[in-house]
Structure 1
């Protein structure tokens, strides 16, 4: 059995954690049922991503992009649970199949337990914001520790767990904050942030997705997100493709964001233009945060582990 994950060319910890989470939850999975693809954490229930003609075991995945895969050949699908009730509804499943995002189980891994608090307030942007925005400097000026969602997954997870408050544009930034009992505030910089998947997860825990809007931090970021920046409009680019791997990241925007060393004057101008982003991010960090109830999270994790026990039994895995 091989875990599937969507691999971003830039890195995205919320997808990369599939590389080792399932070895913790289902020890020995790689030694049995080589014909089965384990479809786990991520918004990957997408026709363009998942292969046809292969048996797929779905544990906690979500829908949110593109179109649903063809599930007419029932023998190819073993759907044990999905991320939330919205995905369950899309797939024609009973609402109780929408249990939780499996990433919450990271809090049960010994290496992430009892970590000391090192950061007062931290910001986890969406990976698209991270690759073209000015968020490291914006976060620092707002008094927040910047957590790069494109960084090594375990390092990112530790930083989230070691924070006292998380401001999250990254959905898995909020999911993991909640799992580690770190209060969180949701923000969004553009309409490109997928509210369906956020609401899918949030509804499982009785929390709300009502993100505070934070202005885009740079012209390069506006180009990437087909948005506006200080009166400049960047809306001529095509919508996101069915397959996220086919999305063309504007090379000019990347070059602008990662360009050669800038003059002090140019750097000053760029930081001045990002001032609204900094002020709004600071305001977000001072907003009353959310946290799901302990009892609700525990109940969802228990239901998820019932699913895991069923998979262990049915696929002949070690207990």
Structure 2
């Protein structure tokens, strides 16, 4: 059995954690049922992402992009639980199977416990914002810590844990902050952010997804997200592809966003244009954060571990 994860061309910690989380939750799973694909953390219940003709064990995955796979082939699917009730309804399984995102179980790993606080307030952008925006440069200027969602997953998670508060555009930034008991505020820079998947998770823990709006920071960011920046519209007529890695992107514009910080007038001009983004993020950092109740989180984690025990039993996983 091998874990499936969607591999962003740029890196995304919320997907990359599949590479090691399941070794903690299901030690020994790699040694059994080589024909089975373990489909875990991520919005990956998507027709073009998952291979046909292979047995798939679904534990906590979500729907939210593209079109659904063909679930009529029952011999290919073992759906034990999904991320939340919206996914459960979309794919036609019992609502009680919409338990929680598996990333909440990171809190049980010893390496993510009892670390000292090092950061007051930190911002975790969506990976698209990270690769196309000016956030890494402007976030420190307003007294916040920048956490790169494209960084190494365990390092990102430790930074979240060691923060006193998280401002999250990244959904897994909020999920992991909540699981590690770090208060969080949700923000959104664009209509490209997927409300369905946020509400799918939020409804399992009794929290509310009402993101505060933060303006985009660069022209490149607007172009990547099909949005507006300082009156310029980059909305396209073509629908987004089902595989996010196939989205057409102007590489010249992205190269400009990734370039080392320029000095002098050019960088000053870019930071002036990013002024509304800085102000919006500063306001968000002063908002009242939220956190799910301890009892609800514990109940969901217990339900999830019941699923894990069933998988261990039924697949003969000894570890």
| TM bucket normalised to smaller | over 0.9
For residues 145 and 217 of structure 2, what CA distance do their matches in structure 1 show? 16
Cα 1:183/1:261, change in 2 over 3 Å: closer
SS at match of 2:59: strand
2:261/2:267 contact within 8 Å kept: no
For residues 223 and 303 of structure 1, what CA distance do their matches in structure 2 show? 42
Cα 1:250/1:294, change in 2 over 3 Å: same
Aligned to 2:274: 274
For residues 108 and 147 of structure 2, what CA distance do their matches in structure 1 show? 22
SS at match of 2:159: helix
C-alpha displacement of 1:263: 4.2
For residues 297 and 134 of structure 1, what CA distance do their matches in structure 2 show? 35
For residues 66 and 4 of structure 1, what CA distance do their matches in structure 2 show? 18
The count of corresponding residues between Structure 1 and Structure 2 is 319
Aligned to 1:295: 295
Structure 1 unmatched runs, 5+: none
Aligned to 2:120: 120
1:226/1:237 contact within 8 Å kept: no
Aligned to 2:42: 42
- 1:25 lines up with 2:10 in the alignment: no
Residues 294-314 of structure 1: per-residue CA shift (max 9 Å, x gap):
000000000000000000000
SS at match of 2:119: coil
Aligned to 2:214: 214
For residues 90 and 4 of structure 2, what CA distance do their matches in structure 1 show? 21
Aligned CA-pair RMSD: 1.0
Aligned to 1:97: 97
Residues 275-295 of structure 1: per-residue CA shift (max 9 Å, x gap):
111111011010001100000
Q: How does 1:255-266 map to 2 (within 5 A)?
A: 255-259=255-259, 262-266=262-266
Residues 104-124 of structure 1: per-residue CA shift (max 9 Å, x gap):
000100111111111000000
Aligned to 2:166: 166
Cα 1:260/1:180, change in 2 over 3 Å: closer
Query: Which deviates more, 225-234 or 309-318?
Result: 225-234
Aligned to 1:315: 315
Aligned to 1:136: 136
Aligned to 2:108: 108
Structure 2 unmatched runs, 5+: none
Cα 1:5/1:120, change in 2 over 3 Å: same
1:182/1:291 contact within 8 Å kept: yes
For residues 277 and 244 of structure 2, what CA distance do their matches in structure 1 show? 27
Aligned to 1:80: 80
Runs of 4+ that moved beyond 4 A:
none
SS at match of 1:123: strand
Cα 1:28/1:260, change in 2 over 3 Å: closer
- 1:200 lines up with 2:200 in the alignment: yes
Residues 128-159 of structure 1: per-residue CA shift (max 9 Å, x gap):
00001000122112211000000000000000
SS at match of 1:164: strand
C-alpha displacement of 1:260: 5.8
Aligned to 2:65: 65
Aligned to 1:226: 226
C-alpha displacement of 1:253: 1.8
For residues 260 and 166 of structure 2, what CA distance do their matches in structure 1 show? 31
SS at match of 1:121: strand
- 1:14 lines up with 2:14 in the alignment: yes
1:215/1:277 contact within 8 Å kept: yes
Query: Which deviates more, 253-262 or 295-304?
Result: 253-262
